[in-house]
Structure 1
Amino acid sequence: MFYFRIHFLTGNLLNIKDAYAHPMFYRGIDDSTGFRTRNILCFPIKNETDNVLGVAQLSLNKMNGPYFTTFDEDVASAFAVYCCISISHSLMYQKVIAAQYRNSLANELMVYHMKSLMYQKLQRSQHRNKLANELMIYHMQVASEEVQELAQSEIPPPSHWHPNFSKFNYPPREVPEDETPLCCLSMFEDLGFISRWRIKRDTLARFILMVKRGYRNPPYHNWMHAFAVAHFCYLCIKNFKLNEYMEDIELFALFVSCLCHDIDHRGTNNSYQVASKSVLAALYSSEGAVLERHHFAQTMCIVNTEGCNIYENLISKDYQHVLDLMRDIILATDLAHHLKILKNIEAMAKDKFEKTNLKHRKLLLCLIMTASDLSDQTKPWDSTKHIAALIYNEFFSQGDLEKSLGRTPPEMMDRERARIPDLQIGFLDHIALPVYRVLQDLFVEAKVVHNTVKENHRHWEKICALIKLRRGGSCEQMSYEQILALEEEANSLPEDEVKSVTQNGH
């Protein structure tokens, strides 16, 4: 491997006639295998501009002779030309395939935002792919009058919407949807981002409206979800004094990522994208986290749209840094990623957070993003129980789609098999509570959040206990509304009965 690196850098052919006499040769492998290397021929694979694409090693020992000859060198050099052609064609083919997937995605997005017959005409045009990309951006544009109205509005303080706006028990979905863009401006202002990063008001207004426009309208993963996630992030920055734990640019990237983290969500998860062989899966599945990579790509599309670049006044180094941060933060919303790093986060909390430790700051960014993404579980019961209905509505819609493909959906997505109280308890036990428990370990102010999640867990336990004690234990094929109708009766259950059921397992 060392030879490969040397010749990748130099681009020169290397013919070693006596390996053991060469100063760069490492004998360790020979010693461990019993093989004796006599001679080596390494040659570069170059393209037409004389840049090195790779390095090949022809053989470890010359078979018919004591060492490789000049004739062998000529053969190797000729072979390198064919290697270059093969590699170049392979790379070009991959680029063509990726471009086709991107164009298919652009067409799909254009159709969603246009909803008109114009697309059928464009399909017959030889320039349809180029036009699809242009039209996708065009139909996501917001009216200049709408931008100016928002940009020129007086920015009220967050308390304008509610005296408890900056407290964890405030449910942000109470903000009317048509007021959420102005509310976002208010949070940007209150966090000091507008002045700190010299963001133009019209640029920020257009960016927020474009992000809002970029969300589809599935039952749960829509703009109001993004707004709620950003609000929880705002609460964390304010209440935990995160500026004492992270750098300014990290907090800026975190808050913007919360707004953008689910752009163009289709109401289906990663496994469905792969199973249905969607355009998104074709484009991103080899890298994993299909939807999260698409959300980031759509975010970059908006940032790069004229008049939307809220990072335009950052110096080059900070500009690249904030984009890298956003990529990592948005990819961290994949729960599979969260579960992989949870033990590292818990270890960080136990060992004490250090601001100077880059790894600690990255883990904290991921934790705050996940806590924000799940924050509907942290709101009072009267709020969170209604939001759960939206989640299952979306889940069951995906389950119906999976059945149409001849697949058996997971229990939580099958309206005929889902045991919602058990599913909720399992989700809180294994996903949500560990997140807010470690958040409480890091920030004493998060205790109220953790306690609220535990209270919601208790509500589900009571409903589950009632079903098991009074209704034969089965809640399959019960609608969400029918299950919530048991709430009053469940709250009247004696505590010892609830405890008995919960101790015996769900």
Structure 2
Amino acid sequence: MAQLPNNDLFPPSPYCKSYVNEEEITYKTENPLTTIIVANPGKILQLCENLTDTHTKNLEAKMNMYFQAEVDAKKVFFINLFTVSDEAIIQVVQDKILETPIRSCLCEDTISNLVVYKDSGLKCDNLDPKIQTMIDEVIKDEGEHNLIIVPVIAKERKANVTKKLVVSPVYLICFVNTPKDSCFVTKLVNETLNYTLTLLLNTRQCEEEKRLKNQCQSLLSVARRLFSHLGHLNDLLKEIMSEARRLTNAERCSLFLLDPDHMHLVAKVFDGVSPTDKSTEVRIAKDQGIAGHVAATGKTLNIKNAYKHPLFYKGMDEATGFKTRNILCFPIRDEDGIVGVAQLCNKIDGNFDYFDEQVANAFSIYCGISIMHSLVYKKIQDTQARSQLSNELMMYHMRVTDQDVADVLLCEGYHNVPDFDSFSFVPRRVLHREIPCYILKMFDNLNLFDHFRIKRDVLTRFLLYVKKGYRDLPYHNWIHAFSTTHFAYLALKNFSLVEKKYLTKLESLAYLISCLCHDIDHRGTTNAFQQQSDTVLASLYSSEGSVMERHHLSQTLCILNMEGCNFLENLNREDYIICLDLIKNMILATDLAVHYRIHSRQLTMAKESYNNTDPEHRYYLCSLLMTCADLSDQTKDWGETKSVAQLIYAEFFTQGDMMKKMGKEPDNMMDREKASIPDHQLEFLTDCCICIYRILAKIFSSAECLVDAILKNIQAWEVSKNVFSALCVEGTTSYEVLVSNEFENAVQEALQNLTQEEQQGPNGE
């Protein structure tokens, strides 16, 4: 007969009873034995045997089906409780894995209250409303129902506690429409989970470790990709948002960088698309809206229902047709603080959760570092480009010697041509070598030398360097600079700008200097050409706009800072800073794109009467005066205007030829084969020039003569259209006609005939 094994070697399972000689075998254990009362031990063994999956969803599905069979319930499902993230999740109902898990956040009181019900079922009255909402979403099709909810409590050792085990809820198991009572169901759950809970929790922990591992790998991959785009900030920002969308599974993204000067957030990537230019940028006040709130507080916002949040602006959805459900908005920091805000919209598989917040906060660190390094790299590139341009300028020109300065100061020329102070005077007829002398004369006549204690030799050296700063171009040259400056002088004299307090004395000085330097080192090409050709200038200034104008300003300041050239040295610090700021604004105002942006406001200013105490009015007037000075060639007589047109189109057609060589199609007015010069001139005069000078005439009645001069030139160009048609035979370009003697004579004759007809009247008398 076989011998029974030693009882001390292998004690039987607690649910098995064995008798020897009619006596029950007993043994001692550290914990009290669990006695199975309602559960079937064989079915528990079979369940444990089947729980071989490595995913919690599959394990939950098997547990659900086991419980359903045991209590004859209509539905069974687990609510996962995560105390780390204070979140509840339903991911499986019966044996069906939900495509989109049902999620809800929990408060600390909810979790602590669940511990109280660890040995009994929960009633709906005891439920947190958020959990009740989750359950309602699962059982909404069940009609009348009864519901038993059993909390599952587990013991875990906290990281900061050495020995003490802390109990916390890990699941709520819900039974829908079961005939069994709450006591039976609770006992069944407790008895079953005594043998399966450890497996469930270990699998859940394993999934969490795997998620953290994948997250770390993703962040390392992100860091590698981000740091490969440091050379191009816009590309970097697009990459940042692409990775943010991928990491959080969001539909849309926006990235705002903080503009410290204006205290705004500027959308560099909005809804995944970069603005094409500054006019399309989305700007948000730092303290407004969701992004503004995050920028101001530095705290992440996870909004489950966007339309119910008080900071959400619905207007953008209404304009685009996009429906925003939820938002995750987080700050981006560098070592000095917040530099931007990222906003993610509409998580594809539900709401943004605690883990998305963790990823976002970790990701934001990489963003801040990469943006900071990109900006530093851009500054280094800008410094190198400026150095290259400055070296190029100095190599292109020779230095000004003391003898050059002396030659101007000791010039014995007459310098007193008739009508110099009249708008009808043509400054292009001044001898080239005497231009510096006439500029000094302007300063004398306006009493600028004495008022600002300007040293005559220092200003002269500055003028000669500026003269050398202009290239030998057909139009944008030293003569054009003098013509522009002469108009500024005329405006100051004839409109009594300082005497009538339209401008301050300092503004009048800045006005003259800005006109003198407004096209320094011009390349004979437009801003658009610089950007399309990806020149050094474009790389340096394209992000700010007004590429050439910013270069002119840079070169002006470069010359001003050269030894022996700072004629502003006797200004006090405040006036010096104001003067440089005025020069900056005035030179940038010569970009016609700037004029078109503020044209309507200039017109309003003129209609409402100029207010010299309004800073905006002063800016609009200075900008208007700069534009009028820059275009003043169009206010001279027809012969002079036609000569200037020859110079302008010589530059235009040279640029057009360059574009053709680059394989690009130039605009018609820059294509010597297609340009219709009279039409282009008429368009420019009627759409641009006449409007500008009419605004000027509304403010200063003595400017009406300028409007009249332009109207006469419009009439001349209208007459010239027939002349062009007659002279443009096959093989002859419009430019060749423009520079021909026949054209000049024919137009003059046509104008004389027209004048005679007007004098004779309709009856020829």
Query: Which TM-score bucket, shorter chain as reference?
Result: 0.7 to 0.9
Which one-letter code corresponds to 2:619 in the other structure? K
Structure 1 window deviating more from structure 2 (455-464 vs 368-377): it is: 455-464
Q: Which of 725, 735, 739 is equivalent to 1:481?
A: 739
Q: Which has the larger radius of gyration?
A: 2
Question: In structure 2, what residue type is equivalent to 1:94?
Answer: K
Q: 2:369 maps to which residue?
A: 85
State the alpha-carbon separation in 1 of the partners of residues 345 and 746 from structure 2.
Answer: 75
2:745 maps to 1:490: no
Kept in 1: contact 2:531–2:542 (CA 8 A): yes
> Does the aligned pair in 1 maintain the 2:295–2:331 contact within 8 Å?
no
AA in 1 matched with 2:708: N
CA distance in structure 2 between the aligned counterparts of 1:494 and 1:40, rounded to whole angstroms: 72
Q: 1:64-463 counterparts in 2 under 5 A? A: 81-113=365-397, 139=398, 141-150=399-408, 152-153=409-410, 160-243=415-498, 244=500, 245-463=502-720
SS at match of 1:463: helix
Q: Which residue of 1 aligns with 2:122?
A: none
Q: How far 1:220 sits from its partner (Å)?
A: 0.6
- Structure 1 residues 29, 76: CA separation in 2 closer, same or farther (over 3 Å shift)? closer
Cα distance, 1:96 vs structure 2 = 3.1
Asked whether the equivalents of residues 415 and 437 of structure 2 are also in contact (C-alpha less than 8 Å), the reply is no
Secondary structure of the residue aligned to 1:170 is: coil
- Over the residues paired in the alignment, what is the CA RMSD in angstroms? 3.9
| Cα drift, residue 239 of structure 1 | 0.1
**Per-residue deviation at 1:456?**
1.9
2:520–2:552 Cα contact (<8 Å) kept: yes
Shift of 1:453: 1.7
Q: Which amino acid aligns with 2:747?
A: E
Instruction: State the distance in 2 between where 1:9 and 1:31 align.
Output: 21
* Secondary structure, counterpart of 2:333 in structure 1: strand
Shift in alpha-carbon separation, 1:15–1:260, aligned structure 2, 3 A: closer
Contact kept? 1:199, 1:310, Cα under 8 Å: yes
Change in Cα spacing, 1:300 to 1:40, as seen in structure 2 (3 Å) is same
Please report the TM-score for the alignment, with normalisation by the length of structure 1.
0.78
230-239 vs 315-324, greater mean Cα deviation: 315-324
Shift of 1:88: 2.6
Check 1:77–1:194 CA distance in 2 against 1; reply closer, same or farther (3 A cut): same
Change beyond 3 A, Cα 1:44–1:336: closer
Letter of the structure 2 residue corresponding to residue 484 of structure 1: E
Shift of 1:408: 2.4
Matched to 1:29, the amino acid is: F
AA in 2 matched with 1:142: V
**Which residue does 2:312 correspond to in 1?**
29
Distance apart, 1:149 and its partner CA:
3.7
Is this contact kept in 2: 1:399–1:414, CA < 8 A? yes
Distance 1:419-1:7 versus aligned 2 partners, 3 A rule:
closer
Question: Which has the larger strand fraction?
Answer: 2
Give SS of 1:430's match.
Answer: helix
CA contact (8 A) 2:488 2:625 kept: yes
Q: Please tell me whether the aligned partners of residues 546 and 591 of structure 2 are also in contact (alpha carbons under 8 angstroms).
A: yes
Cα displacement string for residues 99-138 of structure 1 (whole angstroms, at most 9, x for unaligned residues): 343344345435533xxxxxxxxxxxxxxxxxxxxxxxxx
For 2:493, the aligned partner's letter is K
Distance 1:389 1:59 in 2: 56
Which AA in structure 2 matches 1:490? A
Shift of 1:72: 11
Distance 1:7 1:144, change over 3 A: farther
State the one-letter code of the partner of 2:383. A
1:55 Cα offset (Å): 7.0
**2-structure distance, mates of 1:41, 1:286:** 26
The Cα of 1:197 is off from its aligned counterpart by 1.4
Higher helix share: 1
- Residue type of the alignment partner of 1:302: I
Relative to structure 1, the CA distance from residue 30 to residue 407 in structure 2 (aligned partners, 3 Å threshold; closer, same or farther) is closer
Give the partner amino acid of 2:369: I
Kindly tell me: are residues 8 and 200 of structure 1, through their superposed partners in 2, closer, same or farther at Cα, counting changes over 3 Å?
A: farther
> How many Å separate the matches in 1 of 2:653 and 2:748?
26
Taking a change above 3 Å as real, the CA distance of residues 493 and 100 of structure 1, as seen in their structure-2 partners, is same
Hey, what does 2:333 align to over in structure 1? 45
Per the TM alignment, residue 430 of structure 1 is displaced from its structure 2 partner at its CA by: 1.2
Q: Which amino acid aligns with 1:192?
A: N
CA deviation string 1:274-297 (max 9, x = no partner): 222211112111221111111111
User: Which residue does 2:37 correspond to in 1?
Assistant: none
2:421 aligns to what SS in structure 1?
Answer: coil
Is contact 2:415-2:438 (8 Å) kept? no
Distance in 1 (CA, whole Å) between partners of 2:296 and 2:578 is 28
- Aligned amino acid, residue 378 of structure 1: T
What corresponds to 2:131 in structure 1? none
- Which deviations, in whole Å up to 9, do the C-alpha atoms of 1:214-259 show, x marking residues without a partner? 1111001000100010000100000001112122222111111000
CA contact (8 A) 1:424 1:460 kept: yes
TM-superposed CA distance for 1:494, in Å, is 5.1
- The superposition leaves residues 17-38 of structure 1 with CA deviations (integer Å, 9 ceiling, x where unpaired) of xxxxxxxx9834399999999x
C-alpha separation between the residues in 2 aligned to 1:15 and 1:385?
64
- Alignment partners' CA distance in 2, 1:144 and 1:72: 70
Higher relative contact order (CA 8 A, sep 6+): 1
What is the percent sequence identity of the aligned residues? Answer: 43
Contact 1:7 1:44 (C-alpha < 8 Å) held by counterparts? no
Tell me the amino acid that sits aligned with residue 45 of structure 1. R
> Quick check: 1:233–1:258 contact (8 Å CA) kept in 2?
yes
Distance 2:340 2:679 in 1: 55
Change (3 A) 1:185 1:72: same
Native 8 Å contact 1:257 1:326 kept in 2: yes
Find the aligned partners of 1:228 and 1:419 in 2 and give their Cα distance: 27
Deviations for 1:417-462, whole angstroms, at most 9, x for unmatched residues?
A: 2222222222211121112222112111111222122222222222
* Alpha-carbon spacing, 1:277–1:164, altered in 2? closer, same or farther (3 Å): same
State the one-letter code of the partner of 1:288.
Answer: G
Quick check: 1:219–1:391 contact (8 Å CA) kept in 2? yes
**Could you tell me whether the CA contact under 8 Å between 1:46 and 1:80 is conserved in 2?**
no
Which amino acid counterpart does residue 403 of structure 2 have in structure 1? E
Q: For the residues of structure 1 that align with 2:342 and 2:506, how far apart are their CA atoms?
A: 44
The whole-number CA distance in structure 2 between the counterparts of 1:342 and 1:454 is: 20
Query: Gapped runs of 5+ residues in structure 2?
Result: 1-285, 303-307, 318-322, 759-765
Q: How many residues were matched structurally? A: 458
**Secondary structure in 1 aligned to 2:543?**
helix
2-side partners of 1:444 and 1:277: how far apart?
A: 45
Shift in Å at residue 402 of structure 1?
1.7
